[in-house]
Structure formats: structure tokens, C-alpha cells
Amino acid sequence: MNSKRSILLRRYELGHFLGQGTFAKVYYAKGLNSGESVAIKVIDKEKIMRVGLMDQIKREISVMRMVKHPNIIELYEVMATKSKIYLVMEYVKGGELFNKVTKGKPKERAVRQYFQQLVTAVDYCHSRGVYHRDLKPENLLLDDAGNLKVSDFGLSALVESKRQDGLLHTACGTPAYVAPEVLSGKGYDGSKADIWSCGVILYVLMAGYLPFTDPNLMEMYRKIGKGEFNCPDWFPSEISQLLQKILDPNPVNRISIAKIMVNPWFRKGLARRPRAIQPEIEPEPQTVGDADGIFDITDDIKQEDSVKPTNLNAFDIINMSAGFDISGLFEGEMVSRKCRKQAKFTSMESYSSIVSKLEDVAKKFKLKVKKKVGGAMKLEACKLGRKGALEIDAEIFEFATSFHLVEMTKSSGDTLEYQKLMKRHIRPALKDIVWAWQGEQQEQEQAKQQKQSE
């Protein structure tokens, strides 16, 4: 970069700063030859490689090249150096739709137009096998003419991401906008999950607040799981009826996009406007030939091929923490057997320190250690027990650089032997690195209550 004029790779002149995320910054820029205004997302390659987000960035690039639609932010080109990735995108200066909502509720006519454009864009994505999975007003931008543009495909999934059951399984998105089947931790249909998010957005645009909200996070999840919401009396009956069909907690019964698009309220005004022509999806020539190419220039970055911790998102933390396990809200009674065969603890130590400590503990109690990819280890007893050799899978999940969650699960052997080994030996031996064990606070409260009753 030229420090005087901030020239990027002899192609763009960087302007003012637009925004920032965990691993990227976004700048306004102008093409030196074309003079066209663009937004450039600058990603720190070393950081995303260190935390294992390479595939996510590749997927975002691949998806944005596939979806060419008037209501979707366009990716013009991708450039890369040894240390940075540059996504050159369409510049939309109207700001986030979220900001418009906070300044006051739009009129019904404007709400319908935004919703029409959103549903049309989402339908287009689904036709290309793309599921956004993080639809919310903050990810919807407005251009000069007030047209909606869907952005941020960082959490999107392709049809190839489905498992053998034909469903997606990664819980992601923003909790208040996420469908109940996603929160349940089971497989889900990406298209039905996106439809739910569209419904929440429609409600927010009309009301100015969320349909599912509560100071208690667990209570909010319960409301989402049951589909408990009320439309204000001043909502037009057509919108209330449509929302009841979209925000149906049962994805099987939830209305499809095809049916939304023939809904009388949705159709209003469409006949007076010519239908937008959807351009072909042939990608424009790119500076980097494919998504994998952005990681080919790695002379100044050392990629570790050794075991690395699994990156953990907010949904994983919520579901894996005893106080926030929400599976019971969707599945009835919680399965106590799983708790007897599994122990979890959080640690403020580094990943390498946790691995080292687990290896020391295994050596002390004569357990064989086998390292596996993705931050996993297997501890195996040398002697046979009542039901064969006791084996414990230890998996380390990274939430931040110095905050990890460790899950220790009995994979084979006798459950009582596992519990005895954990309680008498392993748990005391790990006290130097443990911040808190799962359920420890509840156990202390129960012991306190029992003592008081005695």
C-alpha cells in the first residue's frame, strides 16, 4: 500500500473506514481506472488460519460468486497477498435496515416492499442450493433508492453441507432470529430455517421490537420453541395471519416460500412493477481463480498440521453449559444417562497447557494417550475392567484464545469405573487448570440444602 494515497495493489484507492469484525475491516474505496465506488473487506489471513476459519471464508467467497441478484450484495473480485485477503464488493451507502427500524417503524407499504425483496432474494439463494442462516436486519442493507440488499454470507451453507439425512446440523445465527429446530441441536432444513428468520424480520419491521423476547435467556428460548408470540392489535389481520404461518414452531407445517409469494398481502404492488430480471450466474473474472487460491500464498504463514482445538460458537457454549442446556425445552425430559457418562469443565489456560496437563494425568494413572484431529484425545486404560478396557474421549473446544471448554466422555467400558476414576483421581488432578466443572454450582447448592434440612 502507498501510505500517501493508500493505493491497494495498484487497483483501488482506499478511503474511509466503514466497519470492523473480529477478523476483518471494511473500507470504502474507488477503482483507479473506473472511478467506481466499492467496499473492500480486508481479512487477516493469519488470524483466520490460526482459529480454523479457512473453510468458512472459502465458503463465503464461493457462495457470493454463485448468487447474482439485484437484492444481494455483489462480490466483484477477490485479491490476496501473503498476509491479507481482499473481498471487493458492491458499495451500498444507504446503511443497515436495522438503523432505519431504530429511528421509527416504516409504513406498511415500505415494510411490504422490503419483505418482498427479502423473500425474493432468499428464494433465489435456495434455488442455487444456498442457505443464509443468519438473516436479520443488521445483515440487510439499503441502496440509494431504498432497495434491500442481503449481505454477510459468512454463516451460509451449501446444499453439499447436508448430511446423509438430508439436513443441516450446525447451530448458528443470531438466537432471537433463529428457528426452534436449529436451537434444538437436531438436524434442520436450511430453507425452513431461513423462512422463520424472514418472519421474525417482518414482525420487527412492523412492530419495532422482537416477537420472542425475555430478560431470561432460557425463557426466550422456551417461547421460541413453543412459538409463543402475540401480534399487536394494530397489525393488519393479513400480516398477523401470515406471521402465524411463518412462525410455526413445527418446520413441517411452516409455510413455504412458494406459498408466501402467492399470499394476497405479499402480492400487493408487485403487479405494478416489472419483475426484476435475474442475471445469469456466470462469475466475473477474478484476480484469484478460486476460493482455495486465496490460501496458496502462504510463505509468511506457518500452518500447523498438529492437533488444534475445535472452534466453538455461541450456540455450542450455550448447549454445552449445564445452566444453559436448552435441549429439554424441545425434547421433554433431559437424559440423565448422558450426564453420568460425561464430564465437562472450562479452563482459562491455553490449549497447549490443557493438552500437556491431560497427558501428565494420563501418565500418572497409567492411561494410554492417542491424539486425534480437531482437538480430540483418547485416554485408554491399560488394564481390562468389568466391561473391557475403559476409554475416555477428551475433546477441547476453543471459545477464545484463553478460554476453553473440555468435554470428557466415556466411549467404552464400565460407567461406574469411569465415574470412580473421574471423581477420585482425574478431577482432583486437573484442579490446577480447571476454572469450573459443569454442574458444580448446582451440586454445591444441593449439598447446602441437604445439610440445612438435616
Q: Extract the annotated binding site for ATP.
A: 41
Three-state SS at 287: coil
- Listed in sequence order, the residues at least 6 apart from 380 whose beta carbon sits closer than 8 Å to its beta carbon are 367, 368, 369, 370, 389, 390, 391, 392
Known binding site: residues?
41
HSE (side-chain half, CA atoms, 13 Å) at 169 = 8
* 322 neighbors 439 (Cβ within 8 angstroms): yes
**Pairwise CA distance, residues 322 & 317, whole Å:** 10
- The whole-angstrom distance between residue 155's C-alpha and the CA centroid of its chain comes to 5
Question: DSSP string of 175-224?
Answer: GGGS-HHHHTTS-B-HHHHHHHHHHHHHHHHHHSS-SS--SSHHHHHHHH
User: Which are the catalytic amino acids?
Assistant: 134
Q: Determine the residue type at 433.
A: I
- Cα–Cα distance between 342 and 393 in angstroms, integer? 9
Distance CA 373, CA 64 (A): 30
Closest of 349, 339, 340 to residue 405, by C-alpha: 349
Q: How far is it, in rounded angstroms, from Cα 179 to Cα 254?
A: 11
DSSP 230-243: ---TTS-HHHHHHH
Q: Is the Cβ–Cβ distance between 140 and 97 less than 8 Å?
A: yes
Helix (H) or strand (E) run with residue 405 in it: strand 403-412
